[in-house]
Amino acid sequence: MTDLPTLAQLDAAARTVYEAMLPTPQYRWPLLSEALGTELWVKHENHTPVGAFKVRGGLVYFADLAAGANRPAGVVSATRGNHGQSIALAAARHGIASTIVVPHGNSVEKNAAMRALRATLVEHGDDFQAAREHAVRLAQENGWHMVPSFHPLLVRGVGTWSLEMLRAVPGLDVVYVPIGLGSGICGMIAAREALGLKTTIVGVVSSHAPAYALSFAQRQALSHPVSTLIGDGMACSTPEQPALEWIWRHVERIVQVSDDELRAAMRLLFRTTHNTAEGAGAAGLAAAWQERERLRGRKVGVVLSGANVDSEVFGAVLLR
């Protein structure tokens, strides 16, 4: 198992991130805290240049890649959207061509955003796993560098939002972090451990993509089919072993939230803060709402990890 990033490594990653963007804010919204009956802080990763936390990992990964002796002419990766936008933006900053593979039926607006960031978009397969396998084949056929969806440098990068939040809001009792392939929650683990804090970390998955929750409960890596219609950022069928090992050691529990709970959290966020959240971006709030009785009197943090939801989908969520 790879060691957790140190505080020095996280601070160095933050300096790289801040060359391209400012730290994002964290706010205590009165109506939202009132609704949950506790002091609730929201970390606004929807305010990054691509509307999601993933960009931090891409910036750190590509800074290292571009500085290396074997700088590639092109890169390829698979995504449901936010990871791909991160790669496209970071690759373009270093003059590296990027190709992104997405499954058929992927978010129309995420696809458009990746193209606007100068990525070549390839649609293949019916789910993320099929898209990732095709990306591996393209890398082998074309001699491209395959950018993974989970990597220590990605964890360092995305861990910077956790570092910001834990420093800006002292005394957080518990923080809820959605799990896709695991970089976000591993970044929170790294930041908490580096700062020597006691904040409880709770993972959140879709109940329609429960691989990490099942693996957490059984203490072994278990795959599971994905059927979520709204939580595409958490649509993971096969967990990453290094992420699982960190999660087993440092996360207290994992909460499962349904698509209906995600939609309700998206509506609550918009009604109380007028911020847009995609399904996965509202997962932390959905879990906190599910556990609101046990949170009374506690200082709670959630991350609005992404806002990249298609307008038609969001409109339907609000109307419902």
pLDDT digits (tens, 9 = 90+) for 249-291: 999 999 999 999 999 999 999 999 999 999 999 999 999 999 9
CB 74 within 8 A of CB 99: yes
Confidence band of 81 (pLDDT split at 50, 70, 90): confident
Residue 68 pLDDT exceeds 60: yes
Q: Which amino acid is at 208?
A: H
Mean pLDDT of 19-48: 98
**Mean per-residue pLDDT over the chain, rounded:** 96
Assigned CATH class of 7-53+152-319:
alpha beta
Q: How far apart are CA 313 and CA 129, in angstroms?
A: 23
Is the separation of the CB atoms in 31 and 272 below 8 Å?
A: yes
Query: What phi and psi, each to the nearest 5 degrees, are found at residue 120?
Result: -85, 125
pLDDT of residue 149: 87
User: Closest Cα partner for 55 from 285, 63, 270?
Assistant: 63
Confidence of residue 1 (pLDDT cuts 50, 70, 90): low
Confidence band, pLDDT 50/70/90 cuts, at residue 320 = confident
Mean pLDDT of 129-136: 92
Is the pLDDT at 2 greater than 80, yes or no?
A: no
Question: What is the rounded distance in angstroms from the CA atom of residue 244 to the CA atom of residue 153?
Answer: 17
Task: Tell me 293's DSSP state.
Answer: G
Q: Interior CA angle at 271 toward 210 and 301, to 5°? A: 50
Beta bridge partners of 40: 300
Lowest mean pLDDT among 40-49, 121-130, 136-145, 195-204: 121-130
Mean pLDDT of 99-113: 93
From 313, 50, 283, 310, select the one nearest 180 (Cα to Cα): 283
pLDDT, average across residues 11-22: 98
Q: Identity (one letter) of the amino acid at 310? A: D
What is the rounded end-to-end Cα distance, in angstroms, of the chain?
45
Reported for 67-72, long-range contacts at CB under 8 A and 24+ positions apart, including other chains, are: 71/96, 72/96, 72/144, 72/145
Domain ranges of the chain: 7-53+152-319, 54-146
**Domain 54-146 in the same topology as domain 7-53+152-319:** yes
How confident is residue 44, by pLDDT bands cut at 50, 70 and 90?
Answer: very high
Secondary-structure class of domain 54-146 per CATH = alpha beta
For the segment 196-216, the average pLDDT, to the nearest whole number, is 98
